[in-house]
Amino acid sequence: MLKKKALVFILVIALSSLLLAACGGGGGGGESDAAAEAGKALFEQDIIGAQPGCKTCHSLEAGKVIVGPSLAGIGSRAGSAVSGLSAEEFLKQSILEPDAHLAEGFPAGTMPQVWGTELSSEQVDQLVAFLMTLK
């Protein structure tokens, strides 16, 4: 009887571990944290490929405009920016197709239209992960 209880206990622990791993774990967020950190490092580069880096034109300080709009709090606002798009979808499209949804007061053609070729899809995802941390 003791062996049967021990076996059930081991199965419950193993199943719980698998479920936690499938759901992203118990709050550790390891992979998404690493992506956000990589995205932050990319955002902070002065030059990306042949273009000025993100921080050259976008402030992370509320209300501070450099060339493009401030990205302070974008992680909170992105989900409601365009009906039908998730926050992540909106941010990704804003990087790859910068004129698709223009911030008020900012003309088309200001942001480089080359990020689809200058950045890998992994780098775009990393930037999105970082921007989502800006609440």
- Mean pLDDT by runs of 10 across the 135 residues of the chain is 44 38 53 96 96 97 96 97 97 98 95 96 98 98
Angle between helices 87-96 and 121-132 (to 10 degrees): 130
Q: In this structure, is residue 49 part of a structural domain? A: yes
Q: What pLDDT was estimated at residue 29?
A: 76
Q: In this structure, is residue 82 part of a structural domain? A: yes
Domain that holds residue 54: 31-132
Domain count, the chain: 1
Q: In this structure, is residue 37 part of a structural domain? A: yes
Q: In this structure, is residue 2 part of a structural domain? A: no
Q: In this structure, is residue 26 part of a structural domain? A: no
Q: In this structure, is residue 4 part of a structural domain? A: no
Q: What pLDDT was estimated at residue 8?
A: 40
Q: In this structure, is residue 16 part of a structural domain? A: no
Q: What is the CATH number of the domain that holds 95?
A: 1.10.760.10
Any idea what the Cα angle at residue 45 is, between residues 40 and 51, rounded to 5°? 125
Q: In this structure, is residue 24 part of a structural domain? A: no
CB 52 within 8 A of CB 44: no
CB 43 within 8 A of CB 56: no
